[in-house]
Structure 1
Amino acid sequence: MNRELRQFRRLERVCLEQAALSTMDLARHGLLKVADDCRIAAEAIEAQSPRGALAGAVQALKLAFSTTRTPQRH
Structure 2
Amino acid sequence: MSHCSSQEVLIVGGVGCNLRLQEMMNIMCEERGAKLYATDERFCIDNGAMIAQAGIEMFQSGTTTPWDLVTCTQR
For Structure 1 versus Structure 2, the TM-score category normalised by the shorter chain is 0.3 to 0.5
Higher relative contact order (CA 8 A, sep 6+): 2
Q: Which has the higher helix share?
A: 1
State the TM-score, normalized to the length of structure 2: 0.32
Larger strand share, 1 or 2: 2
TM-score (norm 1): 0.32
